[in-house]
């Protein structure tokens, strides 16, 4: 079957695989993409724990050669998954952080007509050669991933926060995502394409969608979808904190307990993983004793809405018969960082 979406299970993302702490990976953003690996960067292992359902979604998307569309609460781990997969597979990561002005075309290439015009007005030899159109074409992240496939090497591509762009953005990408090929209109005859018979070279594409913005159904049809849930399993939360170098088991346990209890309240904005990591990071830095966590110190790292802070104040301590009724401000450890409990 010679189709772009031939199932190819030869590449597997195994979240349980033992990985080195650091590894050298091909540099991603080189233009033009070199024929052989000329430049590498040393990357540290991504502290990411992917559960089995998430890993399965990655493998389905890779096998089908379709982008994995990730939705989920802020800080749920949508963006960093691409980093984790790129690291695990030892592949360069091409990144596109979408803005309101980003066009789908920018993912493929940009053409600098203004500079070409400018160069044409300068005396010959003093600037670029406007006769050489290729000098004014710069491949974008998807363009480079496709050009790298032509050189026989695979890439991971992150298209982050697709909801930030205009609705035309996903629609304008349909053809290129299907064909993994594009023409450079300004340079007749220049075409880049992933070799059709090499599914193992198809870029591994992650698309994140922050808001619950509905994407066009034609775009959805071309993706594999996964909703990144906040970990329900306390053990997984503990593993995530440990992966982020929180070695103190008692601190991990105490912080997770507070987080789980806070999340059980009817909050406007429930704290997620990102908040937990920030909070624990600070608790460690100032060496707050674990016994003080029930006093909700430095609550601003966890709760971002005033009414949520007020609600948290009424949260009974574990085993307590009734809420303390005291304002959180009164209960914060005072004095020097180090949380002497004051």
Ligand X SMILES: Nc1ncnc2c1ncn2[C@@H]1O[C@H](COP(=O)(O)OP(=O)(O)OP(=O)(O)O)[C@@H](O)[C@H]1O
Residue placing its CB nearer to Mg ion in the complex, 33 or 107 = 107
Given Mg ion, ligand X, none, residue 48, with its beta carbon under 5 to 8 Å by kind, binds ligand X
Residue placing its CB nearer to ligand X in the complex, 23 or 244 = 244
Residues near ligand X (CB under 6 A), total: 18
- What is the nearest approach in angstroms of ligand X to the Cβ of residue 210? 5
- What is the nearest approach in angstroms of Mg ion to the Cβ of residue 299? 24
Quickly list H helices, the chain: 52-64, 78-89, 104-108, 113-121, 141-150, 168-179, 217-221, 234-243, 249-263, 273-285, 306-313, 328-331
Q: Which of 80, 93, 19, 24 is nearest to 48 (CA)?
A: 80
Residue placing its CB nearer to ligand X in the complex, 54 or 315 = 54
**By three-state DSSP, how is residue 110 classified?**
strand
- What is the nearest approach in angstroms of ligand X to the Cβ of residue 154? 22
Q: Take residue 132 and report the two structure tokens written for it.
A: 């050489």
* Chain positions contacting Mg ion, by CB under 5 A: 79
Instruction: Please give the radius of gyration of the chain, using alpha carbons only, rounded to the nearest integer.
Output: 24
Contacts of 174 (CB under 8 A, 6+ apart): 218, 219, 222
- What is the nearest approach in angstroms of ligand X to the Cβ of residue 223? 17
Residues 32-91 that bind ligand X (CB under 6 A): 47-49, 72, 74-80
Per-residue contact flags (x/-) with ligand X for residues 231 to 250, judged by CB under 6 A: ---------x--x-------
Residue 43, beta-bridge partner list: 23
Per-residue contact flags (x/-) with ligand X for residues 204 to 233, judged by CB under 6 A: ----x-x-----------------------
Contacts of 159 (CB under 8 A, 6+ apart): 67, 96, 98, 107, 141, 142, 205, 206, 207, 208
- What is the nearest approach in angstroms of ligand X to the Cβ of residue 68? 13
Instruction: List contacts with ligand X (CB under 6 A).
Output: 47-49, 72, 74-80, 208, 210, 240, 243, 273-274, 277
């Amino acid at each position: 079957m010679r189709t772009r979406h031939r199932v190819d299970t030869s590449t597997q993302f195994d979240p349980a695989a033992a990985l080195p702490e650091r590894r050298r990976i091909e540099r991603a953003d080189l233009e033009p993409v070199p024929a052989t690996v000329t430049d590498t960067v040393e990357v540290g292992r991504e502290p990411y724990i992917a559960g089995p359902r998430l890993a399965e979604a990655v493998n389905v998307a890779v096998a089908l050669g379709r982008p994995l569309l990730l939705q989920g609460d802020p800080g749920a781990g949508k963006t960093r998954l691409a980093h984790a997969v790129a690291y695990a597979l030892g592949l360069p990561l091409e990144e596109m952080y979408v803005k309101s002005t980003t066009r789908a075309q920018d993912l493929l290439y940009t053409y600098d007509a203004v500079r070409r015009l400018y160069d044409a007005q300068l005396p010959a030899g003093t600037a670029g050669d406007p006769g050489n159109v290729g000098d004014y074409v710069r491949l974008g992240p998807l363009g480079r991933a496709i050009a790298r496939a032509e050189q026989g090497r695979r890439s991971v591509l992150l298209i982050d926060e697709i909801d930030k762009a205009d609705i035309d953005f996903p629609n304008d990408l349909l053809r290129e995502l299907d064909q993994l090929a594009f023409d450079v209109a300004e340079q007749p005859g220049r075409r880049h394409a992933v070799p059709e018979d090499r599914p193992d070279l198809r870029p591994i594409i992650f698309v994140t969608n922050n808001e619950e913005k509905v994407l066009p159904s034609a775009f959805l049809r071309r993706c594999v979808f996964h909703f990144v849930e906040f970990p329900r399993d306390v053990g997984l939360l503990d593993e995530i904190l440990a992966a982020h170098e929180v070695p103190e088991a008692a601190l991990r346990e105490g912080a997770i307990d507070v987080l789980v209890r806070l999340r059980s309240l009817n909050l406007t904005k429930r704290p997620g993983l990102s908040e937990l990591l920030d909070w624990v990071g600070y608790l460690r830095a100032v060496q707050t004793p674990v016994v003080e966590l029930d006093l909700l110190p430095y609550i601003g790292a966890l709760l971002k809405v005033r009414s949520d802070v007020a609600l948290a104040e009424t949260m009974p301590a574990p085993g307590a018969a009734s809420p303390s009724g005291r304002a959180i401000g009164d209960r914060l450890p005072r004095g020097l960082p180090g949380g002497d409990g004051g």
